[in-house]
Amino acid sequence: MSALDAELRALMRRVTEAAILPRYRNLAAGDIEDKGGNDPVTIADKESEELLRDGLAAIDGSLAIVGEEAAHADPSILERLDQPCWIIDPIDGTRNFASGKPPFGIIIARADAGEAQSGWIYDCLSGRFCTAHRGKGAMIDGEAVTARPTGQTPPVAAISLVFMQEERREATKRHISPEYELVDIPYCAAEQYPRLALGANDVSIFERTLAWDHAAGVLWLNEAGGKAARPDGSPYRVNEWDRPGLLGAASSALWDELADLYAKLD
């Protein structure tokens, strides 16, 4: 494990122990707010982001910082995604966390020129630590990982319909869902991307593609030998955060099959 990876793991662990786990299953009613559209935020999200921001600034203060909660309060912060920057999801899976159930985690990415260059995904309950650096492969807890399909027929799919418009949701149910064995989505990108590489899921569809949810996971899955890209095959870019549609798969062949089906929705 590189020195930078060790620093990030230590930071994410400290923040988990200081701001997240003490609030787990211990939130008062006033500790949870709705940002709109059934998108909750808790006091732990805000405290975690503040601690992560300070920790990342200490590691490399030359980078701009884009945090999920800061960007919600001030959307102009999203303009920093065009710059070299840190991207923070202080608690990914807040809906689960606020309900007192797993999974949830911390996601951090380092991006430049609109693309993630490094990514770190920390599972707050198990301590699983996924890392990736562009061109250097993907790792879990310091060990190299290679994406593997489930081997099942039909393939296993986790399809997020939550943020789709009704017409597209129904089209997905008609044209894509019947081709797969459907499983529940974890409502947590920090869990969904590992599932695509570790033989649990074969493919996944994401409609909302915010940078803090996907920058690290897309890089990690691609570096593991799976594939995550826009439905037209173009690469995911962190500064195209408002562009819908992202497909992930355990292999290029599985991705191609899903992309062919997805194209029929248009």
226: CATH:
3.40.190.80
125 and 204 part of one domain: no
Query: 149 lies in a domain?
Result: no
76 and 184 part of one domain: no
92 and 55 part of one domain: yes
Q: Which amino acid is at 16?
A: T
- The secondary structure of residue 148, as a DSSP letter, is B
Model confidence at 113, pLDDT cuts 50, 70, 90, reads very high
Share of the chain above pLDDT 90, in %: 86
8 and 106 part of one domain: yes
Model confidence at 242, pLDDT cuts 50, 70, 90, reads confident
Query: 150 lies in a domain?
Result: no
175 and 253 part of one domain: yes
What residues have CB less than 8 Å from 221, skipping those under 6 apart?
138, 147, 193, 196, 197, 227, 228, 248
60 and 111 part of one domain: yes
The answer to whether the beta carbons of residues 223 and 138 sit under 8 Å apart is yes
pLDDT tens figures, 150-175: 999 999 999 887 776 777 778 788 88
What residues have CB less than 8 Å from 163, skipping those under 6 apart?
207, 208, 244
Q: Is the pLDDT of residue 15 over 80?
A: yes
Distance CA 27, CA 31 (A): 6
What is this structure's pTM?
A: 0.95
pLDDT at 163: 74
Question: 88: domain range?
Answer: 3-144
